[in-house]
Amino acid sequence: MAEDPVADWLSRVGSGDRAAFRALYAATSAKLFGVALRILGTRSEAEDAVQEVYTRVWLNARKFDPSKGAGMTWLIAIARYHAIDRLRARPPAMQSDDEVLDALPDDTPGVLDRIVAAGDAQRIADCFATLEPGRAAAVQGAYLQGLSYQALARRHDVPLNTMRTWLRRSLLKLKECMEG
């Protein structure tokens, strides 16, 4: 067994030797991570898979038979089969991290969008200026601050139906101004 240190560690791990398990993990985890990553495609899932593989190794190391093959071969087989099982259990839509990132839309406004937005902001401000101050405040309270019609009616000391009329007419006036 001296020729195969992994087999020696597995034999000791099968007996419950924690130091041998730490040594086994330190010597083999990078290789098993590479196997899992190549199959699964995502770093986070490969990390999870490797941890599960070592849990299986801790529980099943006593089943390792050095006469049937090298220790590293046994570990790679466990990692490979576990990664394939995880791959098969994936929902069909799951993709690799890179595919998900590439598919995300770029919401950053371009130069033209920023110029248009700045122009629209000025236009909105100009249109708000055409409203009576109380009605402009009511529209801002309803649509920018999320206040209810009742709260606005109390704030402006008008009946509820009057507030509804103010808001409806003010929105129509803003629409006409923005379209003009």
Residues in the chain: 180
* 158 in the same domain as 115: yes
The tokens describing 16, both together, are 């419950």
**Tally of structural domains, the chain:** 2
Q: For 160-168, which contacts have Cβ atoms below 8 Å and span 24 or more sequence positions?
A: 163/138, 166/134, 166/135, 166/138, 167/138, 167/139, 167/142
* 63 in the same domain as 17: yes
3-state secondary structure 107-155: CCCCHHHHHHHHHHHHHHHHHHHCCCHHHHHHHHHHHCCCCCHHHHHHH
Rounded Cα distance between 103 and 154, Å, is 48
Which range has the worst mean pLDDT, 57-61, 73-77, 121-125?
A: 121-125
- Domain boundary among the residues 35, 68, 102 is at 102
- Count other C-beta atoms under 10 Å from residue 29's C-beta: 17
The tokens describing 93, both together, are 């839509």
* 137 in the same domain as 73: no
Task: Give the tens place of pLDDT for each residue, 138-148.
Answer: 988 887 788 88
| Cα-trace Rg, the chain | 33
* 157 in the same domain as 83: no
- Binned at pLDDT 50, 70 and 90, residue 178 comes out as confident
Residue with tokens 């999320």: 146
* 170 in the same domain as 144: yes
Residue with tokens 């050095």: 66
Provide the mean pLDDT of the chain: 85
**The domain that contains 84 carries what CATH number?**
1.10.1740.10
Please name the amino acid found at residue 79.
A
pTM: 0.51
Query: Which residue range(s) make up the domain with 67?
Result: 5-102
- Domain boundary among the residues 80, 102, 124 is at 102
